Amino acid sequence: MKKILALLIIGSCFACQQNQAQQQKTKTLAQKNSTMAKQSIHQFKVKDLEGNEFDFSSLKGKKVLVVNTASKCGLTPQYKDLQAIYDQYQNKNFVIVGFPANNFAAQEPGTNEEIGEFCQRNYGVTFPMMEKISVKGDDMHPLYQFLTQKSQNGLQDSNVEWNFQKYLLNENGELVKVISPRTLPTDPEIVDWIKS
């Protein structure tokens, strides 16, 4: 009888330890997921084309479209559509933030000043344009690491395929969708999201 009682106590302790280990594992996983969910684009500060600091936390409460741009690309005319949707929705808690990048076929060779003049002169761009950065490779900007790595954005891994790839972020600065470079900014997939 003592042996049976001892075995029951040992078995009970073992089950208790397993239960505690499982609870700790669940708690750790929940903390990890919670930490991942808390990351947002609002944590970043970058420089604009004029060299001024741009703090993404100033965009809390707004939907954000982030796009990598280039002045000498077949998709460059998308600046016109980007400006059109910015004009239409900027007063409805929506903003576009452009990042010139020279990562694809050297299609953005200009200086920050030249890029600014090009955008204004050719497309009347008034949405915020940041300084030229790298959106892929070893020198990828930390903001684009956030946008392209699930471990940081909590949604998905992605590669920046070409100029004018679009990232849609909700009012909390969380990534909600990645849009192909060839999809026009005026596409219903984007406009319906802005209006929703």
Can you tell me the distance from the alpha carbon of 142 to that of 150, in angstroms, rounded to the nearest whole number? 13
Catalytic, 16? Answer no
**End-to-end Cα, the chain, rounded Å:** 69
Could you give the 3-state DSSP secondary structure of residue 65? strand
User: Which of the residues 13, 16, 73, 119 is marked catalytic?
Assistant: 73
178, 158 contact by CB (below 8 A): yes
C-alpha to C-alpha distance for 167 and 67, rounded to whole angstroms: 6
104 with 75: CB under 8 angstroms? no
- The Cα 142–Cα 39 span in angstroms is 13
Non-local CB neighbours of 91 within 8 Å, separated by 6+ positions? none
**70 close to 101: Cβ distance less than 8 angstroms:** yes
In terms of Cβ atoms closer than 10 Å to its own Cβ (0-12, 13-18, 19+), residue 43 is middle
Which residues are known catalytic residues? 73
